Chains A and B, each alone.
Chain A
Amino acid sequence: MKAAAAVQSWKLCGFLRKCLFKALSVGSIPSHVAFIMDGNRRYAKRENLVEGDGHWAGFSSLITILGYGYDLGIRYVTVYAFSIDNFKRWPDEVQCLMDLMVEKIEELLKTGSFLDQYGIRIYFIGNLRLLNGNVRIAAEKAMKATASNNKTVLLICVAYTSRDEIVNAIKRSCEDKLDEADAFEGNEDIKGMNGQLDELEVLTSPSNCGVKRVEGVEMKNGIFKHVEQGSHQEKTDDIEKMHKYPIIKLVDIEKYMYMATRLSNFLLWQTYCCPLYAPDALWPDMGLWHLVWAVLSFQRSYSYLQKKKHL
């Protein structure tokens, strides 16, 4: 009896959620959302859990939010899982996070249902050379296993910082240009640097570890388009168009009415004009309503910018 009631209640919630998403879809839905998953340790402390359990709770939150996001129509999700700066943490915690990553990747691949349900293609972005062998192997396995999925995309930033990404982009650009110069013995044209940074060498270029850069990702025109064009504004190629997404940064419970957050060296280049959102929650607390508010915040920004464009 209780089980039947629970099932009914679950089905009703699902129906109501679908209605809510339909209502939200009347406005623009961001095609790409990036999350900084901050607050796991503080969550564990608050709930009197062992620290590692905060990260487990964070992973559950991730799966939940991914489900809601993809159901809502968000096609691309980027998450900040582990920064290069995080290697400064206690070795035990770093190891715990690495173990969690490997375990969860294996679990997702074994069951497969969540990945198949949403047709998720996974990319690991970052300086993967900094990771242990088993984590790198697990990451490459996940990318290979989901290579044929084409409905939605999940970009997981691990051993990543935006500045490191840009440094690698420049190095690769210089390397490529020098190789061309050697080959053709011509004067090198540095003007191409601009375009190179856009074609992304920067975003989703899994750096120097030999993993292929993102290819074949079909990006629709970002719903949230470039509003202004400057003379040095890069050509709006396909990759550039995908750089329109709000960042949802989970912060401490904020005391003041104003919104305070930080980027934490995440996607600095890519988020140059995208709306930011900092809900009043730790990452494991992140739920449906935070996502809804974030999308509403995005829709408000989008409509304001559209209006500004036409002024």
Chain B
Amino acid sequence: MHSLRVPAPSEHLDTLARRPSVDAPAGSRARGLYSSFVSSARLGRSFAAATDVAPREGEWELGGAGGLPAGLRRDAMPRHVAVIMDGNARWARRRGLPAAAGHEAGVRSLRELIDLCREWGIGVLTVFAFSSENWVRPKAEVQFLMGLFERVIKMELENFMREGVKICLIGDSLKLPKSLQKVFVDAEEMTKNNSRLQLIVAVSYSGKHDIVQACKTIAHKVKDGHLELEDISEGLIGRELETSCSEYPCPDLLIRTSGELRLSNFMLWQLAYAELFFVPALWPDFGKAEFIEALLSYQQRQRRYGARVS
């Protein structure tokens, strides 16, 4: 058994898991064709601006109000952050490691993100751990991931209780191994009164299926006479979605790592007005610096929801 707080089991992982600093050339984090698109589309000034704006390592311990890094405003922090944790397998392949090593490294990134969200007053963090589409992956990898989820939740439960983290599962849990289902149920029950940070874990989740199951529930209610057709509204659908377990079901900010620019069937309804932030870094390389960049970008953007802000 090992804790997330000590170096990962693999000997190589610790040395290889160094995250590139903010100052590193764009190419080290944004490889291949994507980096050329990004850098040419942004004409170079964007990266320079990013390095000017983002605090250097260690700088965030000083300045900022209430422990926030310099540049971030507490009143403009997102209430709900969602993350598509993409890139573990690619990260491992680039280092000549098995995919499992990438997922283990990904868990460390998640642990750090949970800590940051807790410290910086973000109320809800949703993570896309396993999509409904991921079931087609090689059986060995799927089994490893199921085992990893079980192991991590069991290990972290004590920390969650101490840190006030409330865990919720969304997705088609019936497809999960029985043991993992039980682990989630127990963890949800144990942490249900925690209130510092709600961690929503999307496993075997599909945004489309979420909408469909909400519609079916509503349709049943109409059929049974509990609801009139005229009562069907956006609010009603929102309340029937799986994310109704949260006080703030709709993310303000979505971060996707690894440079892929798509939603991949994640929380489609809920992301209608979310700020989407796509990071070239692979998930195991996503750290404090990248999260600060995302938050700074979020705070820069004026959220108008289609109306006019004078």
Contacts and interface: CB of A to CB of B under 8 A. Distances in A.
Interface of A: 83-86, 88-90, 93, 161-164, 166-167, 169-171, 173-175, 177-178, 181, 188, 190, 193-194, 197, 227-234, 252, 254-265, 268-269, 271-280, 293, 296-297, 300-301, 304
B6 interface: no
A83 B39 CA distance: 32
A233 B273 CA distance: 25
B297 A255 contact: yes
Given A166-B237, A167-B237, A300-B34, A256 B46 contact: yes
B208 A272 contact: yes
Contacts of B296: 256
Contacts of B307: 85-86, 88-89
B306 interface: yes
Interface string B153-196: 00000000000000000001001000000000000000000000
B261 A264 contact: no
Given A170-B218, A256-B53, 14 more contacts: A86-B307, A167-B233, A167-B234, A170-B237, A177-B219, A177-B223, A193-B212, A257-B42, A262-B274, A272-B264, A272-B268, A277-B261, A293-B40, A293-B41
A271 B50 CA distance: 29
A111 B141 CA distance: 60
B308 A234 contact: no
A121 B159 CA distance: 59
Given A166-B237, A256-B49, A257-B47, A271 B297 contact: no
A296 B37 CA distance: 9
Interface string B267-310: 01101111111111000000000000110111011000111100
Given A258-B293, A262-B274, A280-B41, A193 B219 contact: yes
B39 A257 contact: yes
B23 interface: no
B133 interface: yes
A157 B192 CA distance: 43
Nearest to A41: B308
- Residue among B43, B134, B211, B269 with the most chain A CB within 10 A? B211
Given A170-B232, A232-B209, A255 B279 contact: no
B293 A163 contact: no
Contacts of A301: 260-262
B211 A269 contact: yes
Interface in B200-251: 206-209, 211-212, 215-216, 218-220, 222-223, 229, 232-234, 237
Given A193-B212, A256-B296, A257-B26, A269 B268 contact: yes
Interface of B: 26, 30, 33-34, 37-43, 46-47, 49-50, 53, 132-136, 172, 175, 206-209, 211-212, 215-216, 218-220, 222-223, 229, 232-234, 237, 260-265, 268-269, 271-280, 293-294, 296-298, 300-301, 305-308
A251 to B, nearest CB: 8
A110 B156 CA distance: 68
Contacts of A86: 306-307
A264 B273 contact: yes
B42 A254 contact: yes
A168 to B, nearest CB: 9
A88 B306 contact: yes
A258 B294 contact: yes
A259 B33 CA distance: 15
Contacts of B260: 301, 304
Q: Can you list the 3 inter-chain pairs with the closest CB atoms, starting with the nearest?
A: A85-B306, A228-B133, A88-B307
Given A177-B219, A262-B275, A166 B308 contact: no
Contacts of B237: 163, 166-167, 170
Given A256-B293, A265-B272, A173 B215 contact: yes
A272 B268 CA distance: 7
Given A193-B212, A230-B132, A272-B268, A255 B308 contact: no
A252 B237 CA distance: 32
B268 A181 contact: no
A275 B274 CA distance: 17
A168 B133 CA distance: 27
Given A272-B268, A301-B262, A259 B275 contact: no
B52 to A, nearest CB: 10
A171 B229 CA distance: 6
A222 B208 CA distance: 19
